[in-house]
Amino acid sequence: MDKDTRVDLHIHTTASDGTWTPAETVAAVRAASVGLFAVTDHDTAANVAATGRLAAEAGLGFLPGVEISVTLAGHLFHILGYGIDPEGGALRRILAANTALMEEVDHDSIRKLAAAGFPIAYDEFCAYDHDPGRGGWKSLSYLIDKGLCTGVGDFFAELFNAKRGIVFPEFPHPAAAIAAIKEAGGVPVLAHPGSEFHGPALEETLDMFAAQDIEGVECFHLCHDAVTTKRAVEWCDRHKLLITGGSDCHGGFVPSRRLGVPEITLGQLRLGKLADGLPDFIRSGE
pLDDT at 274 > cutoff 70: yes
> Within its chain, how far is the Cα of 269 from the centroid?
18
Residue 198 pLDDT? 73
| CA-to-CA dists, residue 117 to 39, 106, 121, 142, 233, angstroms | 39, 17, 10, 16, 49
Rounded mean pLDDT of 260-274? 96
Whether pLDDT at 281 is above 70 = no
Quick one: average pLDDT of 87-100?
97
Partners of 6 in the β-ladder? 265
Q: b/e per residue, 224-251, with b = 16+ CB within 10 A? A: beeebbebbbebbeeeebbbbbbbbbbb
User: Would the pLDDT of 184 be above 60?
Assistant: yes
Check: CB of residue 184 under 8 Å from CB of residue 90: yes
pLDDT tens readout for residues 39-76: 999 999 999 999 999 999 999 999 999 999 999 999 99
State the fold for domain 6-91+170-277. Answer: TIM Barrel (3.20.20)
**Per-residue pLDDT at 1:** 45
User: Has residue 284 got a pLDDT over 60?
Assistant: no
- The domain ranges of the chain are 6-91+170-277, 96-164
Confidence check: pLDDT of 119 > 90: yes
What's the rounded mean pLDDT across residues 80-86? 97
Give the integer Cα–Cα distance in Å for 6 and 100: 36
Check: pTM over 0.85? Answer yes or no: yes
pLDDT of residue 134: 97
Peptide bond preceding 22 in cis form (omega within 30 of 0): no
At 277, is the pLDDT very low, low, confident or very high (cuts 50, 70, 90)? confident
Query: Phi/psi of residue 135, each to 5°?
Result: 80, 180
Q: Is the predicted pLDDT of residue 282 greater than 50, yes or no?
A: yes
Residue 108 DSSP SS3: helix
